[in-house]
Amino acid sequence: MKILKLSAAAAVVLLVVLAIAAPIGPLPGFFIGGTSVPAPPTWPDTSGVHEIRLRVPGTLPRVVVIWVVDHQGALHVVGAEGSGWVSMLGDGGPVDMRLGDETYTLKAVRLTDGWQPVLEAYVDKYRPDYPEIVAGFPDMAEAEGQVAVFRLDRG
């Protein structure tokens, strides 16, 4: 009986540690970390930035590690239409973005028109370093209805 109680306690501790440490890889988490600062008037060069953390609020907020692309001076993220964070955002809403050690409060705006050049920039940015993953993306003709493209606007 004592071993069972110790095992249960160890499992609870492990779950708490994982929840605090997440997001890990493709697993969403709750905590974004970083120092909260106002968004700058212009974003720094993100061509060498492979991943950001994006926090979508909700009853159980979700933090995902995701790719980001700058298109015409605005940052954008792309997600699969049926993914949890995309479903939580719907047509858009408030988000927190962690870029490096800084966290910004932004508004995600879903693009319903003109999203194709953003998706092309996204694919062009990530194809050299992640060819196998990008090869699995739908082509432009098939992407509508399968992907959601969001612009991250300042406050």
Position of tokens 């993220």? 77
| Domain range for 120 | 2-154
15-33 residue pLDDT tens: 454 444 444 444 556 688 8
28-62 residue pLDDT tens: 566 888 999 999 999 999 999 999 999 998 888 89
CATH code: domain of residue 110: 2.30.110.10
Please give the structure tokens belonging to residue 138.
């739908």
Per-residue confidence (pLDDT) for residue 108, from 0 to 100: 97
What is the number of domains present in the chain?
1
For residue 21, report the phi and psi dihedrals to the nearest 5 degrees. Answer: -75, -25
Per-residue confidence (pLDDT) for residue 32, from 0 to 100: 87
> Which residues neighbour 13 within 8 Å (Cβ) at sequence distance 6 or greater?
none
78-110 residue pLDDT tens: 999 989 999 999 889 999 999 999 999 999 999
For residues 107 and 92, is the Cβ–Cβ distance under 8 A?
A: yes
